[in-house]
Amino acid sequence: MFVLGILAEIIAAFFILYAFRKNCAFSLDNLSLAAERKEELLGAMEDRIQYAQEDNIKLGLLVDSEIALYEVAKELSQSLEESDVLNAFKEKVSTIFGITDCSFIEKPSLEKKDNGYGMIKVSRGGRGLLYFMARDFDRINKAKMTILLAQLELFLKRSQLYHEIQELSITDGLTGVYVRRYFLERLKEELSRAKVSGSAISYILLDVDKFKNINDTYGHIVGDAVLKGIAGILSASLRSIDMCARFGGEEFCLMLPETTKEQAFAVSQRIRLKVQEARIKAFNENLTCTISIGLASYPDDAGQINALIDKADKALYRAKAQGRNRVCMAGVK
């Protein structure tokens, strides 16, 4: 009986120990689970804090980029010429990123790249690529620069579109006379006609004297008004069969069919005097100016367009060299 009693106590103790161990395991499991949950919540909280910090940084960069984008766009919108757009971008980017040595080049320079320069490609649309190179490239925020370059490419496309439209147009937007491209097409036709008919044709190239001084003194708006005034004088001085065009900048060209060199010289002198005597009203200014003229004729001076233009250009150069406000003929010193 004694043995049976001990055995019963051992069995009871075994079951008590089993139950205790089971309960302990359950409590430890719960404690482990709670710790894991707490760690997960802590990790989630840290992730949220990190996300908020990153979001604030992104927002700050976005605001900063928007300001820079506005400043660059404002500068680039001032001109339609590609060279002016590129110069404006270069100057503005230099200010934004604090770089002093940067430029646009058509071919990448490995020598400069080896000497600490960084390089970024810039698309010019149908006109190929440019490369923006700068020293101290690590100062440039790459994300911001990517945004600014995208804006630059838009303005370069705008410039390209403007020039394509200009090429398609036959009249100059400022002066109202014909554009050079259309003028040269007509000159080619008239020269061919003159060869067939055996008649003469004269080509005149003229330049506004010291036009840069007018722009520098009074500004480009007044300079534009002067060009319009001179274009009006030229158009009013010609016959219906003659033609006037803006050759480029402050240069104009005239085509006089069925006109000999001597006759063209007389016309040129009359136009020169009219311009000299005119008072061109440009806003609040009443200006006077003079022109220098070079002329060449078929068949006396040349039989091809390029040669005719070259002879007139050289005659114009002589007129400038001899003191301006005069007419010089090709082949006559």
**Is residue 323 helix, strand or coil?**
coil
Token digits of residue 31 = 């404690």
Q: How far is CA 259 from CA 3, 247, 252, 325, 333, in A?
A: 149, 20, 18, 22, 21
Token digits of residue 146 = 């990517």
Helix (H) / strand (E) element for 91: namely: helix 82-97
User: Which of 40, 250, 277, 285 is the catalytic position?
Assistant: 250
> Which residue matches tokens 């007044």?
222
Phi and psi at residue 298, in whole multiples of 5°? -105, 135
101: Cα separation from own chain's centroid = 19
231: Cβ contacts below 8 Å, ≥ 6 apart: 172, 175, 176, 177, 244, 246, 252
CA neighbor of 276 nearest in space, from 291, 264, 266? 291
* Strand order across the beta sheet in which 251-257 lies: 178-179, 243-248, 251-257, 201-208, 291-298, 327-329
Angle between the 82-97 and 142-168 helix axes, to the nearest 10 degrees?
Answer: 170
Active-site residue 75, yes or no? no
Burial call 237-246: b when 16+ CB within 10 Å, e when fewer: beeeebbbbb
- What amino acid positions are annotated as catalytic residues? 250
